[in-house]
Structure 1
Amino acid sequence: MVGSVRFDPLSRRDFGLLRSWLSAPHVREWWRGAEPTADLVEQEYGPSVDGVDPARCFVINVAGERVGMVQCYRMADEPEWDALVGIPAAAGVDYLIGMPGRCGLGIGSSAIGAFTGLVFGLYDDVEAIVAVPQADNQASRRALERAGFELVEERDLESDDPSDAGVSAIYEFRR
């Protein structure tokens, strides 16, 4: 059984831990792209920490242990991605369990399920929450389904992001 789940706003003091999570083989398999150097983590997540980027990033804390990261954003704030995914009035979420020993224990589904309430609280104008893992990422898909997300469709999204290469599974959770 998963302990209590808390979401702590990501801060720069978390960047070293976040970098180690992004470098872990089980994460790199799906969060593709350049090697997550300290500079790259700052470039990618610093604007969110500073409130310049509208994405909101949080550390997943389970029973006092920091185990992963989750972020959310209004899909409308990313117009190209919003158009590709095609679900109106939605917020997007991305997540990872960075600690290899914490994968497969139900933490992902518990955290995602708990996070839906926080997302709807942050964005009262959205009607759905969207997650778009790779179709082959069975662990992520199971976590979403256990958290109450429903598969909308599988299709190739023509994105410049290496993490989106190939067929994606588009999931939604309605308000």
Structure 2
Amino acid sequence: MAAGTDLTAPSEGTPTVLLRPMERGDLAHLLRWLLDAEVARWFPGPSGEPLSLAHVEAEYGPRLEPISPIRMWVVEANGRSVGFVQDYRIRDHPDGGAHQPPPDAVAVDYGIGEPAWRGRGIGALMLTEWFRLARWHHPDAPAYFAAVDHRNRASRRLLRGVGFVEGLWFDQPRPDGGTVTLVGHLRAPEVVG
């Protein structure tokens, strides 16, 4: 079996977690992860239509280009592709409103798409590896930022556990016309190890 395709539950012990740049061939995995009920709860797809590979390619494909201000990563645990991370400078998405951190801050979104790998400490290892990469790619970043749904207690715990501080709660429009209340989290660069 090719590396990155074994979806069985992890063995005992601390897994090795790495992030690698996402490639076009990973978009099918991303679609499967976004369709997972637990991930879809926090990453809603397009309104009024089922999420498809065409939609994922249209939305995320351009982010794989070298000139894109958004970087996409695949999370690998023990050599298996289990989730995704994306990051970008806040200044590259000025439509976020007044709740935003400094424009040069780096924002992060993430998801563990393989159910067998959730609740096993992958999130903290993933964000630790992401911090290392973000610090290297953006050495001048004044802060790191994540905004998660206020109901996502696991993600809020994860962020606090890796040095983020909960901040402002704010409402954001959803693709379906509704609104979701997010909680902004900031982490100062000096916290990064």
TM-score, normalised on structure 1? 0.91
For structure 2, the 5+ residue unaligned runs are 1-12
CA distance in 1, matches of 2:100, 2:89: 13
Q: Following TM superposition, by how much is the alpha carbon of 1:49 offset from its aligned partner in structure 2, in angstroms?
A: 1.1
CA distance in 2, matches of 1:146, 1:31: 22
Q: Following TM superposition, by how much is the alpha carbon of 1:86 offset from its aligned partner in structure 2, in angstroms?
A: 2.2
Matched to 1:138, the amino acid is: R
Q: Aligned pair 1:132/2:144, yes or no?
A: no
Q: Following TM superposition, by how much is the alpha carbon of 1:164 offset from its aligned partner in structure 2, in angstroms?
A: 8.9
Over alpha carbons, which structure has the higher Rg? 2
Matched to 1:47, the amino acid is: P
CA distance in 1, matches of 2:188, 2:64: 28
Deviating 4+ runs (over 6 angstroms): none
C-alpha RMSD of matched pairs (Å): 1.8
Q: Which residue number in structure 1 is paired with residue 77 of structure 2?
A: 62
Which of the residues 116, 122, 135 maps onto 1:120?
Answer: 135
Q: Aligned pair 1:47/2:59, yes or no?
A: no
Contact 2:173 2:180 in 1 (8 A): no
Describe the superposition over 1:19-41 as per-residue Cα deviations: whole angstroms up to 9, x where unpaired: 10000000111101223311111
Q: Secondary structure at the match of 2:110?
A: strand
Q: Which residue number in structure 2 is paired with residue 20 of structure 1?
A: 32
Contact 1:106 1:143 in 2 (8 A): no
CA distance in 1, matches of 2:178, 2:72: 20
Q: Which residue number in structure 2 is paired with residue 93 of structure 1?
A: 108
Contact 2:90 2:100 in 1 (8 A): no
Q: Which residue number in structure 1 is paired with residue 186 of structure 2?
A: 172
Contact 2:15 2:77 in 1 (8 A): yes
For structure 1, the 5+ residue unaligned runs are none
Contact 1:30 1:163 in 2 (8 A): no
Q: Which residue number in structure 1 is paired with residue 6 of structure 2?
A: none
The number of residues matched between the two structures is 173
CA distance in 2, matches of 1:42, 1:80: 23
CA distance in 1, matches of 2:99, 2:123: 22
Q: Aligned pair 1:38/2:53, yes or no?
A: yes
Matched to 2:130, the amino acid is: F
Q: Secondary structure at the match of 1:45?
A: helix
Q: Secondary structure at the match of 1:72?
A: strand
Moved more, 108-117 or 97-106: 108-117
Q: Secondary structure at the match of 2:173?
A: coil
Matched to 2:164, the amino acid is: F
Matched to 1:119, the amino acid is: A
CA distance in 1, matches of 2:111, 2:184: 17
CA 67–44 in structure 1, closer or farther in 2 if over 3 Å, else same: same
Higher share in helix: 1
Contact 1:129 1:172 in 2 (8 A): yes
Contact 2:108 2:145 in 1 (8 A): yes
